[in-house]
Amino acid sequence: MKIKRLLAMFGMLFAVLILVNAFAFDGPVGEECETCIDWKMDGCTVIIVGKDASTDGSVMTTHTCDCGLCDWTWRYIAAADHEPGSMRKIYHINQFRTLDPKMGLKWERYKDDFTGLEIPQVSHTHGYNHGAFGYMNDAQVALGESTIGARKKMENPTPAAKFDITMLTLIAMERADTARDAIKIMGELGEKHGYGFTDTGEMLALSDPNEVWIFEIMPIGPLWTPESGKPGAIWCAQRVPDDHVSVCPNESRIGEIDLDNPDYFMASPNVISYAVDHGYYDPDSGKPFSWKRAYSPSEYSAAGSKGMRGRLWAFFNLVAPSKKFSPDTPNMDLPFSVKAEKKYSVHDIMEMTRYKFEGTPFDPSKGLQGGPFANPNFLPYGFELEGVRYNTPRIVSVNRAEYVTVTQCRSGMPNPIGGIVWLCFGAQDTSCYMPLYNGMNEIPKSFEIGDHWHFDRKSARWAFDYVDYHTQPLYSYAIKDVRKAQKKWELTAVERTPLIDKAAMELYDKDPDKAIKFLTDYCMNNATSVINAWWELGDQLLVKYNHLWIYDVKTRKRLPLKFPDWYLKELIKYNQLVPEEKK
């Protein structure tokens, strides 16, 4: 009896906590977390490029998986056929969870968290690669992810929500033939079986060789049950025009919607009614319904947040300089997308993922924050001093990425050749993008292992962390060595792509299996070469900048570091140094 009473008490406590959460203060998203370290600062940046905005007709998306403590491992899932009547089990997969390798890594243990839900399996599932999310399937459906949050009352951390964002992306990769398919699949599953659990509002950039959409999905509160007959999620999607570019920096991007234009908008049936029922939108106000203002309002600007919410403005300032967007413009008033003022190559987009607000008032490498060697990675979260909070810029290229992807969906070629996921492990400014053609039927074993708390030379990620670690102390010096290596390995791989395409096409026309083997061998060998090169680069940086000197291996001389004058003047002032007497 005592055990039953204890269980009942725990159940009541859980219910009370849910209700407290449901009726907590519901101010602007992020207001109460302006000074805390959570997804609003850790979250990811997604860059989106329509096919007519790219130099080669590619539809491109990126994902900077900015976490700092998440699982970084990757897996390849082969295509499969399934017997009639088969069922697909659904698991809760926490995107932030990591496990000690001794216990078994995340993707070895995720089936421990079975939700109890099984859905009818389809006759054929696509093959795909995934990390924290699915990234591209063999039909060239690709995605990038960014957490955007939702109103506090909308969160649903209960087990009634069977789907989280990771599980939704895996199902979409398995079943979708187009980006639109992926949206409908995930939306319908969230509505029927509930969305949330470990996740709140999420944005996915969903692409295929023809178009790209921004899809946003949110929970609908902790009191939802399947028996209610109401949708267990709320979602909306808007297509990015083919000649436009856009970005999602952890902020809802969809504003006013036009559901009478299904070529550009899709949504769940409760998209407006939920806002009306919960007081998030008044249809008698005379104002048009705005998705982001109803469900994920965030009243900030680049200038007002001292650059902490500067990514949206900085991106549009970078790609549309003629529009002269002001950093004082509220982010909610910035456009959904802009027409590209130039066409972008895949390497341009790679470099854009490395953007650190250079040339803007929010450049974190300037002055004392960057230190004598202009390191843009210091104080990435801001700081608190004597009870006062100070913000520092939140740049695109932060030094806590688990990995970064640039996906290319390309028409005019068979899917195994047309699709490429460019992957770099760790912080993108010191890492190297490696091509993973869609036709690969395996990935390097080194992609599948490793975690933050165990150094492992068998893990690909640690090779890039090794270089990053030896770059940070003397950043302005060492980053030049890294750039040379990136030019040798990364830019060369980009420039080699047309030759690989041509060779693969010739093989595919004769024997698709031989083309698959060719692409697999090429990607595997290239990845191995890059990983080995980065281990060697780390050794070179250790030797060259050992003890904060410069060791020239060619001349066998040791040279002193040159400190900037401004820094020496500040040192004199702060340490009250006096000049040496002249003799």
Contact 182, 176 (CB under 8 A): yes
d(CA 234, CA 243): 29
- Specify whether 345 is located in the same domain as 463: no
* pTM (whole model) above 0.85: yes
Given CA atoms 328, 331, 336, 341 in this order, what sign does their dihedral have? positive
Q: Is residue 516 part of a domain?
A: yes
Q: What is the number of structural domains in the chain?
A: 2
- Specify whether 325 is located in the same domain as 365: yes
Q: Which range marks the domain in which residue 451 is found?
A: 412-549
- Specify whether 421 is located in the same domain as 459: yes
- Specify whether 176 is located in the same domain as 286: yes
User: Tens place of pLDDT for every residue, the chain, 583 residues?
Assistant: 444 444 343 343 333 333 333 333 333 333 333 323 333 456 899 999 999 999 999 999 999 999 999 999 999 999 999 999 999 999 999 999 898 888 888 999 999 999 999 999 999 999 999 999 999 999 999 999 999 999 999 999 999 999 999 999 999 999 999 999 999 999 999 999 999 999 999 999 999 999 999 999 999 999 999 999 999 999 999 999 999 999 999 999 999 999 999 999 999 999 999 999 999 999 999 999 999 999 999 889 999 999 999 999 999 999 999 999 999 999 999 999 999 999 999 999 999 999 999 999 999 999 999 999 999 999 998 899 999 999 999 999 999 999 999 999 999 999 999 999 999 999 999 999 999 999 999 999 999 999 999 999 999 999 999 999 999 999 999 999 999 999 999 999 999 999 999 999 999 999 999 999 999 999 999 999 999 999 999 999 999 999 999 999 999 999 999 999 999 999 999 999 999 988 7
- Specify whether 131 is located in the same domain as 274: yes
From residue 511, alpha-carbon distances to 308, 437, 514, 517 in Å are 52, 17, 5, 10
- Specify whether 315 is located in the same domain as 449: no
Last residue in a domain, options 390, 421, 447: 390
- Specify whether 196 is located in the same domain as 56: yes
Q: Is residue 55 part of a domain?
A: yes
Q: Is residue 522 part of a domain?
A: yes
Q: Is residue 329 part of a domain?
A: yes
Q: Which residues are CB-neighbours of 154 under 8 A, at least 6 positions away? A: 200, 201, 218, 219, 220, 221, 234, 295
Q: Report DSSP state, residue 195.
A: B
SS3 18: helix
- Specify whether 134 is located in the same domain as 260: yes
- Specify whether 356 is located in the same domain as 232: yes
Helix (H) / strand (E) element for 557: namely strand 557-559
Q: Which two tokens stand for residue 90?
A: 């659904």
| Pick from 295, 386, 311: nearest CA to 353 | 311
Place of tokens 């975690």: 451
Beta bridge partners of 421: 407, 436
d(CA 27, CA 75): 40
Q: Which two tokens stand for residue 391?
A: 């913000």
Q: Is residue 344 part of a domain?
A: yes
- Specify whether 288 is located in the same domain as 435: no
Q: Is residue 129 part of a domain?
A: yes
Proportion of the chain in helix, strand, coil states, percent, rounded to 5: 35, 20, 45
